[in-house]
Structure formats: structure tokens, C-alpha cells
Amino acid sequence: MTKIITIIALFVASIVSAQTQFEKGMGSALKLWSEGKNTEAIAQFERIALVEKTNWLPNYYIALINTTQAFQEQDKIKVVALLEAAQKAQDACNDLAIDNPEVIVMQAMIHTAWIVYDPMTNGQKLYGDVMFLYEKAEKIAPNNPRVVFNKASFEKGGAEYFGQDTQPMCEKIKASIELFANFKPETPFHPNWGIERAKQEAENCK
Amino acid sequence: MKSILRIFIFILCYSTFGQTTINGKVEDEKGRPIAAANVFIVGTYDGAISDETGNFSFITTAVGTQKLQISFLAYETINYDFEISNYQPITFKLKENIGNLDAVVISAGTFKAGDNSKVTALKPLDIVTTAGSAGNIIAALETLPGTQTVGESGRLFVRGGESDETQTYVDGIRVAQPYGATANNIPTRGRFSPFLFKGITFSTGGYSAEYGDALSSVLLLNTIDEPEQNQTDVSIMTVGVGLGKTKKWEKSSFSVNTSYINLAPYQLIVPQHIDWNKPVQAISGESVFRYKFKSGLLKIYGAFDYSTFDLNQKDINFDEKVRFDLQNSNFYLNTSYKGNLTDYMQIQTGFSFGYSKNNIGISDDKVANNERALHYKIKLRQSFSNRFKLNIGAEMFHTNFDEKFTDFGTNTFDYGYQNNVVAFFSEAEIFLSKNVAFNLGLRSSNASIVDEFTIESRLSFAYKVSENSQFSMAYGNFNQTAKPDYLKFANHLNYESTSHYILNYMYNKSGKMFRAEAYFKDYDNLVKYDGTQPDYTSNYNNKGFGYSKGLDLFWRDSKTIKNLDYWISYSFIDSERDYKNYESQVTPSFIATHNFSIVTKYWLDKLKSQIGVTYSFNSGRPYDNPNAVEFMNEKTKSYNNISLSWAYLLSQQKILYFSVSNITGSSNVFGYQYANSPDLAGQFQRQAITQTADRFFFVGFFWTISDNKKTNNLDNL
């Protein structure tokens, strides 16, 4: 009996120590983010980014947290600071993985936030950029749910504005829900968000 | 059981062994706590953020000598080397990071020490969407304070200065011939289309030591670093057609724009005050090639245009109209490189070549001239810290001007001049704190025509009084070689010179901006000549002088009313000169005491349209009536102009644009030309200098064909 317990205890201990520093760090940072502690989460991701210099994930999350916050922020001055911080992290991602579809989608989202910030000035300037990025991402990963959904959602916004048919975009948004459901991230720390938003937008389509 | 205990003890030991608590406090320079600073041991994941009271505490398993880093957004990062076992709680004082603060403020307006006080940065979009500008950079700048609307010229007149007192730069390199060729009293346009530029900076005085040979103003145009995508732009307009293409590769890109302008249809529809024998026709092309190196960017910009027209102009001195025809060819090449030599040293270098050739016929006289201008420049910028930066540079200008005058096809006169200028400049940028900044500059140049070194000092100072407002001051003295019109006949003239004293207040809060600027300018060594025209029989000297003082006000608001962006400018100016062939010191004819303009842009979402209205007003301008005793003592009536523009988005790719200038058809008078000799009754007869036509109509259709079919041409109007 004691032997079995010893073995189990040893096994547990080995699992605990097998979890790398990176996994622990990312896990705790993502947990902080899910608890709404954005500042703490960003600080943790920044620390990880400084150690893991060849991994784009920590900077990706810094960009994502800042951009998501920018979409919700009402104070225009804060929006600028958030988007500049997001772009700084994005630049690091671009250097490491410029052709990664997740990184491309992130850049398109930052541009979209700038369009929302000042549609009159930035709309004309960045609309083409955003579409260019989504098309590039689509060529690389046509079945990535975030690529399909974000592109369709952005196009839908434009079509609604010009009073054009939004049916094709809605079809794609619906199709993305299935892609989301079947999506397997490379590791637990790779991007795996978006299904809730896709469901919400699909609702709006009806 | 014992063994289980052993293992637990072992695990416990393992996890507590070597654990150290790192705690302390983060404050700013004034001892106020900083919350949310990131404090951590470099190379580990161990760290925390400071709380509301500035305190932080975390546990680390690291041992030995480590580096503790404390970083927070707008503050300079601290790196603290220490031995884990000896760690004692410390209070870290973070210094404000000037560079970061700088960047933060730039997004809300502009703040660059010294330059900020007098620079207004306009977005290219502001220019193309300003009603009445018709895509002309210069016309849009004339809605800013400090400028004069001189309708018969179309050039930039800044704070009592002549139009040639402004120098234009593209990517830091001079443009020798910034304006299109034109006839007397017919307005010209800026040569550059605004949409190749990402930033346009217009300085109305007190500018940096980097810029010289300009008495009044510098206009800095920066081309786009990287275009967005591959696309083709097609424009069909009432005045011509245009075609543009952009191609992008991994590290380089190429853009080309060509256009053909023919004013015949417009001149047919709108009544003209001039007889056109041949309408204005122009063919032009511009191209930019960009290549990205690992730590730098190379740009090659080339522009060519050929324009021609033929007209008969009424001249009070002759019974019959005077025929004037012109062919102008212009070529401009600009190559610039900007990059980093080290992490702290930046290099900017480049050269330009400008070539302009005119063939002009005035009745039976022929004038043929050409100008070749070269400019080389190199500038190094070393950042010693965020608080101290030093720029040094050198440049060379070479100008060669030749003219041939043929009288009735018989007598020929050849003349011209050559001028070589070398100049050195140095400028220090000093931040004492985030609230106080200085720029100290020195420039020295030598023009071969004068063969004397000038010493020019520049000083500017900025003080931020509150989060949204600041005061600044600038002083500078400036020299400029006399203009080609004089040098071609007299190549011994000295520099013309001036000093600027500027006091500025600026308030800037998201979407709202107010600027008030008072200035005084002192002119000396201005060129004087005798006779009615500056020609080869005139005597020239540098005995002219003058002054200029005034107040410029500017208000811009894009926030108060949704979808409405507007700006209001008012300038008051008091300026007199004794120069040219003037009898005494008087206000020159291009100066109107009061200048007012309002520019509005309203985005009408339901109609997918942007509607723009611009109103400009000038008080009357002085002119000389030779029938009166006093010199330059009469004034024209005031100037009024209301312009309207309407851009309609047909779809994502197609835009219809309509604009009309001077919608009320106000018959503005810019001045009077008097006869050279009196008539039989002893009176000098006169004719008014007016607009070439009362209104200008423009209709255009713009179509962008791109890979993704979603961008449009609104930027390009």
C-alpha cells in the first residue's frame, strides 16, 4: 500500500514539475485576463515576452487585451494609448511571425479599432489595408474560424453601410461557428477565442 | 507511510528552498506613488505590479546576482543589479520619459520643442477635402492664419513676406521650382499632388537651423513610406483624365501617377475674362520608388510635367491686347535615404535635381530661359538621452540660370547667373523636464554670389503650463540670396535678411485646438531698383528695409458637433516695406490688414456624402494711384469667396465629386494696373486686375480598381 501511494505521489510530483515555467506563466496570465485583471495580465505577458524572445504568443495577447479594451473604451485619449500599446506588441509579433494567420487577424483588428476611433479620417485610409490583410490570411488559412469570422464581420459592416446584400457574409459567419467548434489550437495557449461573438453576430443576421 | 512523509517534506523543501521575497515601493520624482508599474527579475517570470500605494511584493526562486527591472508606460525604465541574498526593500524613483510623453502628446496635436509653437501639421485628407482647394496644397494652406490670399498669384505669401521667401522641401530635400509656370496676374498651382504625401508641415516662422535661404516660411512635404496595396486609380474630370498605379513587393514599392489636363471644355462653358488662343494643356507624371533596407528606407521621387497655353491679355499701355504664349518643361528628381547607423544615431541624406525650361512669347518678343538647381544634404542626429539630442548637417546648393531675350526677332541678349551655396548647421534639442524644452541652433552659409559667411542663430523655447496648454517663444535670424529676377541682371547683390520674434499660446484638447500667435519681423538689406520694371538697365542695391507685425488666431473643432469638422482663421497684419522701386516705406500691394477664413466639412451619413463649404474674406489691398500725390495710398474693395464641394460615394470604389469656387460670382479686384504715361487730359488710365473667371466648376469621377475591390479614391480628390 505504502508503495502504491509513494508511486502515486511521485507521479503527481513529476507532473507538477513537468509543467514548464512557460506553461505556468501563460496559464496564470490567461487566468488573470479571464478574471478581468487586464493590467496584471499584461504585466505578466510582458515578463514572459522578455524571456521567450522567439515566441509570438505573449505579445499577441498583449495586443489582443489592449485592442479589446480599446473597442470598449469611451475616452478617446485612452483609446489612442491602448491602440499604440497594442501596435507596439503587434510589431514584435509581426517580426516573429508575419505570415501567421492569427497575427494577421490581430493586425486587422487594430486597424479596425482605428477606423472605429475616427471613421472619417481612418476609414478611407485603412479600409483597404484591413481587406488586404484578411485576404492574405484567408489564402494561408481558409478554414481558420477567426479569419473567416472576422473577415465576414468586417465585410458585413461595409455592405450594411452601402445598403448592399449582407446574406453572403451572414452565411460565412454561420459557417464559422462550426469551424470554431471543430478548431483545435496547437497548444492550450494558442488563440482559441471568438465563438461567442460569432454566435451573437449570427443572431443579428436573422 | 514514512516514505510518503519524506516525499512531501522533500517537495515542500524543494519549493521553499531559495525563495526570497522582493518588496519595495515605486514613486515618481515628486514622491507620489506609481500604481501598476511592472516590477520583475529579468530573465525570470517572477514579478508583480505595484498597487495603489506604489508598493509591490513577490516571491522569487532566483539566486545570485540578478537584475530587477521596473517599468511603467511614460517613465524611464530602471534596471537595478543586486544580490538576491542581500536584498533590502527599496523605494525606486521613476523619471518621466520625455520620448514617450512626446509621442503621447503628438497624437493629440503636435509637440516637438521649438517647432511645435509654429508648425501646423495638416493631413493630406484635410487638403483634398477643403472646398475651393481643388486638390491644390497651396490653396488649402491659404485657409491657415499667417497667410495672405493673393488671388492673382496663387503662391504662398506668409506674414508680410513675398512668395519667394518660402522654401519647399520634399523628404528634407529642397524643391527649386515648386510652382507651375504661368502668365502675369494668372494664378498658378503647387506642382505636387497631395496624395503622395503622408504629412505636410507648414512653418510660418522661427524654424529650425536645418532650413535656410528662406526669409518667411518653410513647407515640408513627406512622401508616404509604404503604400497600402496594389491598385489602379482612374479619374475622369471636366478638366482632364488621370491614371495611377501602385505596385507593392516584399521590400519595395512603386507608384506612378499620370494626368492630362485640358481646360478647353471648362473655358468654353464658363465665361472667361481672357481670350485664350490655346487653352491650358498639361501632361504630367510623378513616380515614387521605395526600398526598405534592414535599418533604413530609400526613396526615389521623380516628377515631370509639360504645360502650354496661348492667350491675349489686355494691357492698359496698348490699344490692342498683348499676346502671351508659354511652353514650360519641368523635371524634378529627389533621392533620399533615412536610416539608423547605430541605435542612437540616425542619418538622413539625399540630393535633388530640378530642371525648368520656359519658352515665352510676349507679342513679338521672345524669352527663353532655363534653370538647373541641385541640392545635396547630409544630416546626423545623435540621441545622447531622451533629454538631449544633437543634429549636425551640411548641405550644398547649386543654381544655374540662363536667359535669352530676343527683341522683335532681331536683337538678342544673353544673361544669367550661377550661384553655389555651402551651408553647415547644428541644433541641440534639450528637455529640462516634460514641461520645459529648448532648441538651440546655429547655421552658417556662404553663397558664391556674395562670398561671405552668414551666422544665423535660432532659439526656441516651450513651456507647458497645464495638461492641455502651453506657451512657446521663438527667435531666429535668416538670410536669403536675392531672387533670380534680380540676380540675372545684377549678380553682385547681398543677402536679404530678417529676424523673427514669435510668442505663441496653444490649447489642445482631443478634437479641439486653439492657437494664438503674435510676431514681429524686422527686414533689412532688401533689394531696390529704379525704373518701372527690374531689367538690365535698372540700378540695383540692398538699401531696402521693412517690418511686419501681427496676430494670428486659429480654432479647430471636430468634436462638438457630430460629423462636423471646421476651422476658423483670423490674421491681423501691419507691415510696411521700402523695397523694389518704392518711393517710401509703405504697405506693399499683396498685404491685406484683415484676413479671415472658415472651412467646414460635414459628413452626411444618409447621403454617403461629404459636403464642404469654405468662406474667405480679406480687407482691401493697397495700390498706387499715380494720379494721387501720395504713394500707395488707395485700397481695393474687400475680397469675398464662398466655395462649395460635394463628394458622393457611389460605392466602395466609385466617387462622384462636384465643386464650385466663388459660388456667388463675387467680382473680386486684386489691384489696378495704371498706364505708364498720362493721357491727353493728364490722367493715368487704369485697368483692374481681376479673376480670370468669376467661377470655377469641377466635376470628376474617381474609380479605384484594387485587388480587394474595397478601397476608393476619396483620398485622391
Domain boundaries, chain B: 2-95, 105-716
- Order across the sheet with B20-28: list the strands: B55-60, B20-28, B90-94
pLDDT tens, residue by residue, B156-215 = 999 999 999 999 999 999 998 888 888 878 888 788 877 677 777 788 888 888 999 999
CB contact under 8 A, A131 and B708: yes
pLDDT tens, residue by residue, B275-328 = 889 988 999 998 999 998 988 999 999 999 999 999 998 888 888 889 999 999
pLDDT tens, residue by residue, B444-473 = 999 999 999 999 999 888 888 877 788 888
**In angstroms, what CA-CA distances link B191 with B66, B168, B188, B401?**
60, 11, 9, 20
B-chain residue closest to A128, CA distance: B711
Strand blocks (E) in B238-364: 240-248, 252-262, 275-293, 296-313, 322-340, 345-362
Closest CA to A52 of A25, A19, A90, A86: A25
For residue A203, give the amino acid letter: E
pLDDT tens, residue by residue, A34-48 = 998 998 999 999 999
Closest CA to B369 of B324, B410, B329: B329
B139, B142, B143, B149 alpha-carbon torsion, rounded to 10°: -110
Mean pLDDT value across residues B239-246: 87
A-chain residue closest to B51, CA distance: A40
- Contact of A125 with chain B, judged by CB distance below 8 Å, is answered with yes
CATH topology assigned to domain B105-716: Maltoporin; Chain A (2.40.170)
Burial of A16 (0-12, 13-18, 19+ CB in 10 A): exposed
- Cβ neighbours around B88 below 10 Å, total: 7
- ipTM for the whole complex: 0.76
CA–CA separation, B472 and B91 (whole Å)? 36
Q: Evaluate whether B2-95 and B105-716 have a shared fold.
A: no
CA–CA separation, A33 and B197 (whole Å)? 41
Buried b / exposed e along B438-473 (16+ C-beta atoms within 10 A): bbbbbbbbebebbeeebebebbbbbebeeebebebb
CB contact under 8 A, B710 and A48: no
- CATH number for region B2-95: 2.60.40.1120
B-chain residue closest to A23, CA distance: B45
Higher pLDDT, B458 or B111: B458
B-chain residue closest to A29, CA distance: B45
Contacts of B463 (CB under 8 A, 6+ apart): B435, B436, B470, B471, B472
Q: Do residues A47 and A25 touch, judged by C-beta distance below 8 A? A: yes
CB contact under 8 A, B7 and A162: no
CA–CA separation, B87 and B66 (whole Å)? 10
Which residues in chain B are closer than 8 Å to A80, comparing Cβ atoms?
A: 104, 107-108
**pLDDT at B434 (0 to 100):** 74
For each of the domains in chain A, give its residue range(s) and CATH number, in order of start: 22-117 (1.25.40), 142-206 (no CATH)
pLDDT tens, residue by residue, A54-113 = 999 999 999 999 999 999 988 877 888 889 889 999 999 988 988 899 999 999 999 999
**pLDDT at B113 (0 to 100):** 23
Confidence band of B63 (pLDDT split at 50, 70, 90): confident
CA A192 to chain centre: 8
Mean pLDDT value across residues B412-423: 93
Mean pLDDT over the full length of chain B: 85
Question: Distance from A153 to chain B by nearest Cα, in Å?
Answer: 15
- The neighbouring-strand residues paired with B547 are B522, B576
Q: What angle do CA B386, B392, B394 make, to 5 degrees?
A: 155
pLDDT tens, residue by residue, B577-603 = 999 999 999 999 999 999 999 999 888
Residue A116 has pLDDT above 60, yes or no: yes
Closest CA to B446 of B213, B99, B202: B213
Which residues in chain A are closer than 8 Å to B600, comparing Cβ atoms?
A: none
- The residue to which cell 464642404 is assigned: B612
Model pTM?
A: 0.79
Nearest to B510 among A39, A77, A121 (CB): A77
CB contact under 8 A, A162 and B49: no
Number of cross-chain residue pairs from A and B with Cβ atoms under 8 Å apart:
97
**pLDDT at B375 (0 to 100):** 96
Confidence band of B2 (pLDDT split at 50, 70, 90): low
- The residue to which cell 479569419 is assigned: A147
CA–CA separation, A8 and B566 (whole Å)? 74
